[in-house]
Amino acid sequence: MTRIPELVCPAGALPALKAAVDNGADAVYIGFRDDTNARNFPGLNFGPDDARKGVEYAHRAGKKVLLAVNTYPQPHNWPIWTAAVDRAAALGLDAVIMADPGLLRYAASRHPDLRLHLSVQASATNHRALEFYHQRFGIRRAVLPRVLSLQQLWHTIAHSPVEIEVFGYGSLCVMVEGRCALSSYITGRSPNGSGVCSPAEAVRWEETPQGRQSRLNGVLIDRYGPGEAAGYPTLCKGRYHTEGRPYYAIEEPTSLNVLDILPELVQHGVAAIKVEGRQRSPAYVASVTRALRTALDTCAADPRRYQVREEWAAALDRLSEGQCHTLGAYHRPWQ
């Protein structure tokens, strides 16, 4: 019998973690309240007390909690990152999601029983890279960047020594995650270094007579006319004057959604499906988790008769950036 992928859902705080567990997540991933993870936003994430409560809540329901320690430490702040790993081991977290090889080595040697997952921030896109991380640090699972086509994904899974987790729903990041330097260009900060690609202090929203405008460090990213759906103020989703007209030259504000290809993901042995959005609310986590849980269970019951139900798609689209969805790189026949 084919194995049903684990549903891995995001939580930026305790209520979202509970929403994920209550609505059918198999695992919830969280981050500590500092720059050791790629969603370092003001007021978001787990302090020590909340982390303990969260682990208790999930474990009581038989679910897992994974911790993202997936940014890259610098020499001067190295102890903050190793402390996060030590705390993860002490709290009994089910796995730590990491990217930095130095930190992976630290975890593997200091906490041999701690399960390690390779973060999407490590940007490993082929099975040889995964082999390396597996041999050196004993990683058990890798999260692949949202840049592979389905053919590339099947090939990687077939040759991978470790479980493969893919993104199933959420805002898109178009670059090979972990290698994006676009934001450093405007703000001097990047996801890998600071855990954030559009830091809040650089973002400015303005309501003007022409519509809502978003600026990143003073640079106009987009202007939305009345009634037009807005998106996150990231450089990659801005509208720029190219060939004389404003246009989404890099990427449109839209969300990835794999409902359409769920049976194929199951059939090819994807071990886990990840939902993006630790920065989103408990309401988002609850709806997305519920929709994907039902879809996965339906698919498990009879993959051949699986069909996307309108209510799942509608629930997911409503919460999407740009309020529409795409298969992203999964569907790029030319790749």
Partner 1 sequence: MNTHATSYPPIRLPALPSLPRWPLFLAVRSIPEPLLADAAARIMNRLLGERSADLAPLEGRRLSIEGTDVGKRLHFLVAGGKLRRGSTAMTDLRIRGTLADLLRLGLRLEDPDTLFFSRRLSLEGDTVTGLSVKNLLDGLDLDWAEACQRLFGPLAGPAVAQGLHRTGVAALLRDRLERILGRS
Residue ranges in contact with ligand SF4 by CB under 6 A: 173-175, 180, 182-183, 191, 197, 234-236
121 binds partner 1 (CB under 8 A): no
In whole angstroms, the minimum distance from the beta carbon of 258 to ligand SF4 comes to: 18
Residues 6+ apart with CB under 8 A from 48: 87
Task: Establish how many alpha carbons lie within 13 A of residue 42's alpha carbon, considering only the half-sphere containing its beta carbon.
Answer: 6
Task: Please identify, using beta-carbon distances, which residue of 28 and 173 lies nearer to ligand SF4.
Answer: 173
Q: State which of residues 191, 319, 328, 330 lies at the interface with partner 1 (CB under 8 A).
A: 319
CB closer to ligand SF4, 27 vs 124: 124
- Of residues 164 and 235, the one with the C-beta less far from ligand SF4: 235
Q: Of ligand SF4, partner 1, none, which one sits near residue 64, judging by CB under 5 to 8 A according to partner kind?
A: none
184 binds, among partner 1, ligand SF4, none (CB under 5 to 8 A by kind): none
Sign of the C-alpha dihedral computed for residues 114, 100, 162 and 68 taken in this order:
positive
Angle at Cα 9 formed by Cα 293 and Cα 330, nearest 5°? 80
184 binds partner 1 (CB under 8 A): no
Find the binder of partner 1 among 142, 169, 287, 291 (CB under 8 A). Answer: 287
Among ligand SF4, partner 1, none, what binds residue 41 when CB lies within 5 to 8 Å by partner kind? Answer: partner 1
**Can residue 108 be called a binding residue for partner 1 (CB under 8 A)?**
no
- In contact, 142 and 196? CB cutoff 8 Å: no
Check binding of 35 to partner 1 (CB under 8 A): no
Using alpha carbons only, what angle is made at residue 248 by residues 222 and 185, rounded to the nearest 5 degrees?
70
Q: Which does 173 bind (CB under 5 to 8 A by kind): partner 1, ligand SF4, none?
A: ligand SF4
Residue whose CB is less far from ligand SF4, 239 or 293: 239
- x/- string (CB under 8 A) for partner 1, residues 48-77? -------------x----------------
Sign of CA dihedral 79, 84, 88, 90: positive
Question: Phi first, then psi: what are they for 105, rounded to 5°?
Answer: -65, -40
How many of the chain's residues bind partner 1 (CB under 8 A)? 49
324 binds partner 1 (CB under 8 A): no
Show the CA angle centred on residue 285, arms to residues 324 and 268, nearest 5°: 70
- Would you tell me which residues interact with partner 1 (CB under 8 A)? 4, 12-16, 18, 22-24, 26, 41-44, 61, 200-201, 203-207, 212, 224, 226-231, 279-284, 287, 290, 293, 296-297, 300-301, 318-319, 321-323
